[in-house]
């Protein structure tokens, strides 16, 4: 399953929770419980240890008529979620998300300047980010 990375008109890069869950090959029955856990857990973000914040790290994806809730997740949050998952492919997807967040460049050393740039890339996912264009990333 390919992981779709979406980009808003403002340039914010996100993935959907349903797509991440499917790409990690997690149990479909546990989707609702796992997403709630993802959004309530504490993670080590670049700016410190904290819980994900609405419109900063994730936003609700409007899907009228769909019985399943979906969310837009920033690449940083998606990377942290994939590392904590029980998936066999978690390292592969975490590396892919990290590389895509840094425009395809691997970051071997984190300096204070790179940390600032990284935190600027994980900008607020606003309500206006509903118009996104899909960009498929094939993972073998």
User: What is residue 22's predicted lDDT score, i.e. its pLDDT?
Assistant: 94
Q: Is residue 140 part of a domain?
A: no
Cα–Cα distance for residue pair 112/48, rounded to 1 Å? 13
What is the full DSSP assignment across 85-108? Answer: S--TTHHHHHHHHHHHHTTT----
59-92 pLDDT per residue, tens? 999 988 888 899 999 999 999 999 999 999 999 9
Q: Is residue 75 part of a domain?
A: yes
Q: Please give the helix or strand (H or E) that residue 6 lies within, else none.
A: strand 3-8
Q: Which band of pLDDT confidence, cut at 50, 70 and 90, is reported for residue 104? A: low
- Domain count of the fold of the chain: 1
Q: Is residue 139 part of a domain?
A: no
Residue 83, CB-side half-sphere exposure with 13 Å CA sphere? 14
Q: Which residue has the tokens 């980010």?
A: 129
Q: Is residue 138 part of a domain?
A: no
Percent of the chain with pLDDT over 90: 59
29-43 pLDDT per residue, tens? 999 999 999 999 999
Q: Is residue 111 part of a domain?
A: yes
pTM of this structure: 0.73
The boundaries of the domain holding residue 117 are: 3-133
Q: Is residue 66 part of a domain?
A: yes
């Amino acid at each position: 399953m390919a992981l779709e990375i979406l980009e808003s008109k403002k340039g914010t890069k996100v993935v959907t929770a349903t797509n991440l869950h499917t790409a990690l090959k997690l149990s479909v029955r546990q989707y609702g419980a796992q997403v709630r856990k993802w959004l309530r857990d504490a993670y080590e973000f670049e700016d410190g240890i904290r819980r994900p914040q609405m419109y900063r790290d994730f936003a609700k994806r409007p899907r009228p008529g769909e019985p399943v809730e979906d969310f837009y997740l920033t690449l940083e949050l998606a990377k942290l979620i994939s590392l904590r998952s029980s998936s066999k492919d978690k390292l592969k997807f975490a590396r892919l998300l990290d590389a895509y967040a840094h425009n395809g460049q691997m970051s071997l050393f984190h300096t204070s300047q790179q940390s600032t740039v990284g935190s600027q890339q994980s900008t607020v996912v606003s309500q206006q980010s509903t118009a996104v264009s899909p960009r498929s990333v094939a993972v073998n």
